[in-house]
Structure 1
Amino acid sequence: MSDPTTREVQVSFDAADPAALCAFWCAALGYEVDAPPPGFDTWDAALDAFGVPPERRNDASAAHHPGGAGPRLFFQRVPETKTAKNRVHLDVRAAPGLRGEERMVALEAECDRLVALGATRVQRHEPAPPLSHGFIVLADPEGNELCLD
């Protein structure tokens, strides 16, 4: 029997361009864009049937881990831009179990990949054992902070 207080988690992002930010995070995490509703081959077909005008078709986007291992990601259009540091951010586990130079080399390789996808490198934090094994701070294409851990 499952615990009635356990809940699934969805991570929501405010965005100027939900589809583009969703595409970045799909590429970053190996996620997939959610499929259109049953009975529709494409999102355009579904949105046509629902009467959604062209200017509203990028109001939201969503993605999921193909194996169901991670939370669903939801991207919603908002009129305002990001103005302050995130109080919550994602740690992308790019070097689990690695230590020292091997860890930092793996993090740098992932950093290069994400920068090529549109992220911005912010800062590298060197290993400081025993509490920190080193990490790299980046910002996604809309400025949301994330860490490569």
Structure 2
Amino acid sequence: MFVNPVRHITFDAHEPFALATFWAEVTGYAVDPSEKDDDEVLISPPEPGAPAILFIRVADDKTVKNRVHLDIQPAAGTRDETVARLLEAGATVYEDHRTDGGLGWVTMRDPEGNEFCVERSAGERGLPTS
């Protein structure tokens, strides 16, 4: 069987370095400060084999909902703590799907308007965390 691994997940961006810095905060990936003025900025995963995230400068604006988005599962802490941290980092809440019983997720937007979801952590879902 032939497997084609995902090498990069690519975002169009007005300010690639600023958006890469935001997503480095979200994911724990590393951003190279020497790429600050580049038209393409790559953030690298901490584990080998995971796809990198690439930000490419474009002039056009985002105008419609993303057809593909990332679902973020907190590695540490809770969904709500992660939402609060990402709000401080520059994200906004787009749609709140949390329930009174503690289930659900939060759809957020990064500083350039790209949607992503923050789910409950493995621990909140009763799954092993290691």
Q: Is TM-score (shorter-chain normalized) higher than 0.5?
A: yes
User: What is the aligned partner in structure 2 of residue 64 from structure 1?
Assistant: 44
Q: Which runs of 5+ in 2 are unaligned?
A: 120-130
Runs of 4 or more, structure 1, over 6 Å off, are none
Cα drift, residue 124 of structure 1: 1.4
TM-score, scaled relative to structure 2 = 0.79
**For the structure 1 residues 43 and 76, does the alpha-carbon distance in structure 2 shift closer, same or farther, using more than 3 Å as the test?**
closer
2:17–2:35 Cα contact (<8 Å) kept? no
Which residue identity is paired with 2:66?
N
Distance in 1 between residues matched to 2:45 and 2:82, nearest whole Å: 19
Number of residue pairs matched? 118
Offset from partner CA, 1:66-112 (integer Å, 9 cap, x none): 2225311000000001000000000001279xxxxxxxx92111001
Matches within 5 A, 1:8-47: 8-34=6-32, 42=34
Offset from partner CA, 1:105-140 (integer Å, 9 cap, x none): 9211100100111111112113499xxx41001000
**For the structure 1 residues 30 and 69, does the alpha-carbon distance in structure 2 shift closer, same or farther, using more than 3 Å as the test?**
farther
**For the structure 1 residues 6 and 146, does the alpha-carbon distance in structure 2 shift closer, same or farther, using more than 3 Å as the test?**
same
1:95–1:107 Cα contact (<8 Å) kept? no
Distance in 2 between residues matched to 1:118 and 1:68, nearest whole Å: 28
Tell me the C-alpha RMSD between the 2 structures: 2.6
TM-score, scaled relative to structure 1 = 0.69
User: What is the aligned partner in structure 2 of residue 140 from structure 1?
Assistant: 110
Distance in 2 between residues matched to 1:68 and 1:34, nearest whole Å: 17
**For the structure 1 residues 93 and 34, does the alpha-carbon distance in structure 2 shift closer, same or farther, using more than 3 Å as the test?**
same
Cα drift, residue 64 of structure 1: 1.1
Larger helix share, 1 or 2 = 1
The alignment-based identity, stated in percent, is 36
Q: Which runs of 5+ in 1 are unaligned?
A: 36-41, 45-56, 97-104
User: What is the aligned partner in structure 2 of residue 85 from structure 1?
Assistant: 65
User: What is the aligned partner in structure 2 of residue 115 from structure 1?
Assistant: 87
Q: Greater Rg, structure 1 or structure 2?
A: 1
Which residue identity is paired with 1:83?
T
Distance in 2 between residues matched to 1:69 and 1:123, nearest whole Å: 32
Distance in 1 between residues matched to 2:49 and 2:105, nearest whole Å: 23
User: What is the aligned partner in structure 1 of residue 125 from structure 2?
Assistant: none
